[in-house]
Structure 1
Amino acid sequence: MESLKNKVAVITGGGGVLCSTMAQHLSKLGCKVAILDLNKSNAEKVAEEIKAQGGDAIGVEANVLVKDSLVKAKEEIHKAYGTCDILVNGAGGNHPKGTTSKTHFEAGDLEASEDITTFFDLDPKGIKFVFDLNFIGTLLPCQIFAEDMVGKSGCTIINISSMNAFTPLTKIPAYSGAKAAISNFTQWMAVHFSKVGIRVNALAPGFFLTDQNRRLLTEESGELTARGNTIIEHTPMGKFGEPEDLLGTLEWLVGSGSSFVTGVTIPIDGGFSAFSGV
């Protein structure tokens, strides 16, 4: 991967399980890596781990929903490494107030206890939070860092979509809609930036155990929850993904081997998106 040596890679949400693994891999490929996270200590921890392995990385505090915060982060990265070549938009997530309690609505739910959150109870503020975090939290970093890429060669943006973008999962309409927007935005940007040589693609991870979803998919004992079991039953490979399963596709999309690939969303899902359930 000679084409990646000394490239400057910026990763938002870089303190998380999946994005920290991607950051470490990009470093091993020769990139100088800037880990952006709302929690600076998390970003610095990942950077220290990379440096301990012989890589070059810095941890930078940044809020992907605040333009001034991103501008400040960009200035810090410019001082350390220069302009951005690769942007991975890893910041995202869900919110309980954009989530229903049940997979299907039934007439009796209208008179049910307050413990049930139906479609009619969804909080617009919670839904807005999810859309802002996922969509605006991708759009703003692109506005700030893609400007660095104009006039250079070999620059790429990698967005993080989801299985929800192909077929919405039950109970999480806000997150599903937000990730569908990411896939659509990926296509839009790929066309918009095609004349200046910036490629834009997306990864669509299947089901990986992370800090955000572990309690939804597994019990404290380590056994699967009912939802966890359903997911495994609908994943032909019969397992959750490991963070390392993202790396081959990431490496291909940021490298010269995919130089004629732009505007695509690649499922990395153990066959989940291919399975009809029958």
Structure 2
Amino acid sequence: MMPVHENLKGRVAVITGGGGVLCSEMARELARHGVMVAVLNRTAEKGKRVADAINQQGGTAISVQADVLDRASLEKAREEILAAFGKVNILINGAGGNHPDAITDSEVHSGEPSGKSFFDLTEQGFSKVFDTNFLGAFLASQVFGEALLAAEAPVIINISSMSAYAPMTKVPAYSAAKAAINNLTMWMAVHFAPFGLRVNAIAPGFFLTAQNRDLLLDENGEYTERSQKILKGTPMKRFGQPKDLLGTLLWLVDEAYSGFVTGVTVPVDGGFMAYSGV
């Protein structure tokens, strides 16, 4: 277990998508360091489970229903959080995911009229995935930005992906959105640097989550062909676990450790991005 960062005690973190596999782990870890956590989730029950677990373990958390693509919903959540905690020091833009309507069936175009091709992707599906991963981070940063600027040691953490650097096959909307997240992270870092608001991102490698389980495991729970490709390209030869992100998270949110770090995206990928394949 990592040492407690004492200077994080009493700070407030807002985590969008806080009911998900990776962000719920982040929420629990921040709470262990004395951070008061607001778990934002479109599905209220998922967020409530995370908040309840934190409170039962002696931390402080609330669950707030919010849709990151609905500004009014985010504004309502902000007022509820400020009423409960009085401030916001940390924003983690973790809401994201994929959708079948934005995923091709094959990795490359086959020319055959079978399966879902690039030409079968719907505008609605593509937009939904792009907006959830990118526009949601933009809107949440806007809505919580002024509260962050008024707080001590403010920081925004965006969640990127390996697909931002080299787009994964089958998932063009997700890949494009994560590439945009890296760019937005740098833009906001420059924009807010004179006011002390640091903006960074974490780019997880391949983690087994609810969103990608069907791509990585077959009906028997065995690794798919896609999984085998990923592991072959990952020098550490395993998928990431949620706890693998926590050290990087703590480093980035604690200004005592990373006070001069802004505008970077940190890969946590088991060496995937460094490996050429030979």
TM-score by length of 1: 0.96
Q: 1:144 corresponds to which residue? A: 143
Identify which of 3, 6, 14 aligns with 2:7. Answer: 3
* Contact kept? 2:15, 2:39, Cα under 8 Å: yes
Q: 1:14 corresponds to which residue? A: 18
- Give the CA RMSD over aligned residues: 0.9
Measured in 2, the distance between the counterparts of 1:39 and 1:200 equals: 27
1:82 counterpart = 2:86 = yes
Once the two structures are TM-superposed, the CA of residue 27 in structure 1 deviates from its matched residue by 0.4
* Contact kept? 2:88, 2:151, Cα under 8 Å: no
The SS at the match of 1:273 is coil
C-alpha distance after superposition, 1:148-171 (max 9, x if no partner): 022433110000000000110111
Measured in 2, the distance between the counterparts of 1:140 and 1:246 equals: 24
C-alpha distance after superposition, 1:68-121 (max 9, x if no partner): 101111111111111110000000011111111111113x32xx23xx111222
Q: 1:28 corresponds to which residue? A: 32
Counterparts in 2 of 1:187-206, with a 5 A limit? Answer: 187-206=186-205
**Paired amino acid for 1:23:** A
**Paired amino acid for 1:126:** G
The SS at the match of 1:187 is helix
Measured in 2, the distance between the counterparts of 1:145 and 1:212 equals: 26
Return 5+ residue gaps in structure 2 as ranges. Answer: none
**Paired amino acid for 1:124:** E
C-alpha distance after superposition, 1:206-234 (max 9, x if no partner): 11111111111012322101111111111
Counterparts in 2 of 1:32-51, with a 5 A limit? Answer: 32-51=36-55
Once the two structures are TM-superposed, the CA of residue 3 in structure 1 deviates from its matched residue by 2.1
**Paired amino acid for 2:192:** F
* Contact kept? 2:87, 2:151, Cα under 8 Å: no
**Paired amino acid for 1:62:** A
Measured in 1, the distance between the counterparts of 2:184 and 2:44 equals: 28
Q: 2:95 corresponds to which residue? A: 91
Measured in 2, the distance between the counterparts of 1:70 and 1:152 equals: 19
C-alpha distance after superposition, 1:169-223 (max 9, x if no partner): 1111111001000000000000000011000000000111111111110123221
Q: 1:166 corresponds to which residue? A: 165
Identity rate of aligned residues, in percent? 56
Q: How many residues align?
A: 273
TM-score by length of 2: 0.96
